[in-house]
Chains A and B, each alone.
Chain A
Amino acid sequence: MSLRLHVTALEMRLDVPSDLGVVGDAVELVASRLPAGTLSPRRLNFNFRTALAEALGNAIRYGTGEDPARVVRVRVELGQDAVRIHVTDDGRGFDHAHPPDPTRPENLEREDGRGLFVIRHLVDDVAFNAKGNGICLTLRAG
């Protein structure tokens, strides 16, 4: 399944197959088409790319279970004041309210469990839909 990005003046949309191997290409495709100006090159290169990779990886691993028949939907709202990344899967959602703190000594050597922690430090705002299978990441202009 190839990646087809739909772009308008207000948003970009991309359906990503539930395959971890395409996360890098999907991130590059979206980031490369983001209009210049809203985010600084540094925030685009690091914060935007890492946050999108993180959200996509989580959705594919935990939301759609790496089932190649399913897709994860990405929508990027292109505002003057902010860029908002929406990543939604068709899974059951997860409890995002009380994730374990990955910086506690007992968690430091765990391989997993840093995703949400990392996202919260990369973007200005994180919101979930009611079901917990959709995340919205806001990066304010600058």
Chain B
Amino acid sequence: MSFSVKKDKSGVVIVGVDGQLIVGNRQELKQKVLDALDGGGRKFVVDFAKTGYIDSSGLGVLVSLSKKIREQGGELRLAGLNEDLQTLFELTKLDTLFAITKTAEEALAAF
């Protein structure tokens, strides 16, 4: 499991989650996003196209990051959720907190 961080040409920070986002690695994701926020990034996309599962701690860190980014005038969008993950976001009603798109490209285009 690992995270990749890159910036597109318009400055949007795209974070890829490879494997899972769970209690054991959520702090690593949090730190990477906060570093990018400190570095001036304000628009973020977390791409779950290569993600198998997310536990409640992973959901929690996304909520926390979204709040911090909004406080800085930015936005965190989510993309690439598989059907089970999409259902998880709907059950927890977190789909109402985030803009969610099928692909990272769609999320980038919507900024």
Contacts and interface: CB of A to CB of B under 8 A. Distances in A.
Nearest to A56: B23
A54 B22 CA distance: 8
Interface residues of B, number: 29
Interface string B56-78: 11011101100100000000000
A117 interface: yes
A131 to B, nearest CB: 22
Given A108-B93, A111-B63, A20 B23 contact: yes
Which residue of B57, B67, B88, B96 has the most chain A CB atoms within 10 A of its CB atom?
B57
A112 interface: yes
A125 B26 CA distance: 27
A134 interface: no
Interface of A is mostly: helix
A38 B20 CA distance: 23
B19 interface: yes
A49 B60 contact: no
A24 B20 contact: yes
Interface in A16-48: 20-24, 27, 42, 45-47
B55 interface: yes
A118 B22 contact: no
B53 A112 contact: no
A118 B88 contact: yes
Which residue of A47, A60, A102 has the most chain B CB atoms within 10 A of its CB atom?
A102
A95 interface: no
18 contacts: A20-B23, A20-B24, A23-B23, A24-B19, A27-B20, A27-B22, A47-B84, A49-B20, A50-B54, A56-B23, A57-B23, A102-B92, A108-B93, A109-B97, A111-B60, A112-B60, A114-B56, A117-B56
Interface of B: 1, 19-20, 22-25, 52-57, 59-61, 63-64, 67, 82, 84-85, 88, 91-94, 96-97
